[in-house]
Chains A and B, each alone.
With several copies, the nearest count.
Chain A
Amino acid sequence: MANSAAVMIAVDNDANAQSQSPEEWRQSLRMIEAMLFASAEALAAEDLASRLPEGADVAGLLADLKETYATRGVNLMQVAGKWAFRTAGDLKFLLAREAVEQRRLSRAALETLAIIAYHQPVTRADIEEIRGVATSTGTLDVLLESGWIRMRGRRKAPGRPITYGTTEAFLTHFGLDTVADLPGVDELKAAGLLDSRVPANFTIPEPGATEGLAPDEDPLDEADLLGDSTPR
């Protein structure tokens, strides 16, 4: 029974947690389980901690719970820096009837989304440079409307072009904890393919964090935030 492994680990964790008795540990696990199960949205560790007994080892409890559920039909996942129960990926065939209709992205939109995700912060010109095609306004609109990308700021460069990045909703939808978890991001970085320049001068930019601004980024102007979301 694969479950026994999880139980073993849980017991080990119990032994490690000096501040909580096994009974308290078990009760805290139950509480986290209940809160995460009840919510459709992911919950931050701090939110969970605020409802647990003072001094509870939330990180340890979550690790324990994740282990326990790893082999089950419902898994504990880290998405967008938060925690959530989700059905196991291999059981998707069972759940087709629960599926909500997905926004169908055109190939151009999907490619643009990938470029924004891996290269963020990027300007429209950056995207066009990578794709070798002009980006139609519609493509960025669709992505902005989906809530998966957002205007992050303005590049500190002539014309102060708007920079784009991904959102928390993007991470949640694609089941990513952070943009550093994008598939193959490390290999791409190592190959210099996330660089905006030829690999001759080999500086590899990190795909910037989704929060905060890059060193060459300014915050958005007030007008950017007020006006319609479509950049000219």
Chain B
Amino acid sequence: MTAAAPTSEQDQEKIWEAYAVLDRGASDSALVVDVDGFEGPLDLLLELARSQKVDIARISILALADQYLAYIEKIRSLRLELAADYLVMAAWLAYLKSRLLIPEVSDGEEPTGEELAAALAFRLQRLEAMRDAAARLANRDRLGRDIFSRGDPEPVAITRKNEYSATLHDLLAAYATQRQEKAIAVVTIGARAVWSLQDARHALTRLVGHVAEWTPMEVLMSPYLSSLGMRRSVTASAFGASLELVREGKLELRQTEPFAPLYVRDRTPLALVSSETGNG
């Protein structure tokens, strides 16, 4: 069934117009079919078949072919353009007609005229069946048009509930890890309370020029030794800083023996020897 090449739906419009013209111009035509338009040659054939007012299953394909050919001739006589597939169908029907009229010997290869006719009848029946089915479908009680669901459905309230899971091991591990980390963190914070070398140097520099007599370092640094944890840091940094200032010739240091108190004073021009002692 390849004869009827599909035609596009836009072309239908042309045909419809053609048909309207035909309908008006040829009211004596035996083929008055009142439809909106044809959707291709098969559709036209179906309408013609229906106009025979007999069961499509028992339609005379020969008569139908004649009708179609006459119809096409009519349109052409009105000098209306016809889509190619209508002409192809016409040619095919003319061929079918000749096959049906001339008795033939079946060679087993080519389908017989009867077989071709049967195939066309089948297509027409099938198309009609689908038309009917579409109509029956459209006329069913349709949801939202004919039958209705609950207009005010009662919503299902979904309560979200979280369920948590954790094992005792998770719990203890989290606790132990956290407490342990915190224990170490305390030490780290202690390290922050270091009196830097720079702090010490800054403090000592401010004293330079005011320490004429030997004065214990501890006394000079006493304002900074107040906080308990700072003692070592202050002592170490003050010592370091004082060494730098001695090297720069700003201070002198004196210590009588290891771990004995460290004395500081401004450097005097005569005190060259004293600086040797600064090696505690």
Contacts and interface: CB of A to CB of B under 8 A. Distances in A.
Contacts of A114: 130-131, 133-134, 137, 171-172, 174-175, 178
B170 interface: yes
A226 interface: no
Interface stretch (A62-70, A153-161, A186-194, A212-220): A186-194
A86 B146 CA distance: 10
A227 interface: no
Interface in B146-166: 146-166
Nearest to A118: B133
A37 to B, nearest CB: 6
Nearest to A172: B143
B63 interface: no
A97 interface: yes
Most buried by B among A101, A110, A115: A110
B263 to A, nearest CB: 39
A110 B137 CA distance: 9
Given A175-B141, A175-B143, A111 B178 contact: yes
Interface string B1-28: 1001011110010000000000000000
B180 A146 contact: no
B159 A98 contact: yes
B138 interface: yes
B150 A39 contact: yes
Interface residues of B, number: 73
B206 interface: no
A22 B12 CA distance: 56
Interface residues of A, number: 65
A49 interface: no
B8 A134 contact: yes
B40 A183 contact: no
B134 to A, nearest CB: 4
A200 interface: yes
B211 interface: no
A38 B129 contact: no
A188 B129 contact: yes
B157 A95 contact: yes
A182 B137 contact: yes
Given A86-B148, A92-B147, A134-B7, A188 B176 contact: yes
B162 A145 contact: yes
B147 A136 contact: no
Interface in A107-132: 107-108, 110-111, 113-115, 117-118, 128-132
Contact of A39 (B126, B144, B152, B164): B152
A45 B154 CA distance: 19
A192 B159 CA distance: 41
A133 B142 contact: no
Contacts of B42: 131-133
Given A86-B149, A198-B118, 14 more contacts: A89-B141, A92-B146, A95-B148, A96-B157, A100-B145, A100-B161, A104-B164, A114-B171, A118-B133, A132-B6, A132-B123, A132-B185, A134-B7, A193-B122
